[in-house]
Structure 1
Amino acid sequence: MLNKENQENYYSNKLELVGPSFEELSLEEMEAIQGSGDVQAETTPACFTIGLGVGALFSAKFC
């Protein structure tokens, strides 16, 4: 069991290792971690159609 002094050292070392909780971060830090919604779709209707066709053929042949 940890005494009071060791317990304080334990919690301060833990904070150094993992950092603050998400709620304690600034708005800029939160946006950097979460990506701030800057993701662009990288697919096309042709990719979807080809994938659908291949899936249908595979399903028809093996199922």
Structure 2
Amino acid sequence: MVSKYAVLKEGVVENIIVADDNYSPDDFEVVKYSDETFCQPGMLYNKDDGLFYDDKKSS
């Protein structure tokens, strides 16, 4: 099965990918997210609520 992942660099979404559920990159932090979650490059990831935001005030 495959899932959607946000590729993060310092908490900012660098890219979004689709990969196997057992995907485990060595050089990147990735966060799996569902179809109900909006995510695009440039957004900030909030670890507390697991959501992505456009501005630092919400993250």
TM-score, scaled relative to structure 2: 0.17
Select the structure that is richer in strand.
2
Answer 1 or 2: higher relative contact order, Cα 8 Å, separation at least 6: 2
Larger Rg: 1
TM-score, scaled relative to structure 1: 0.17
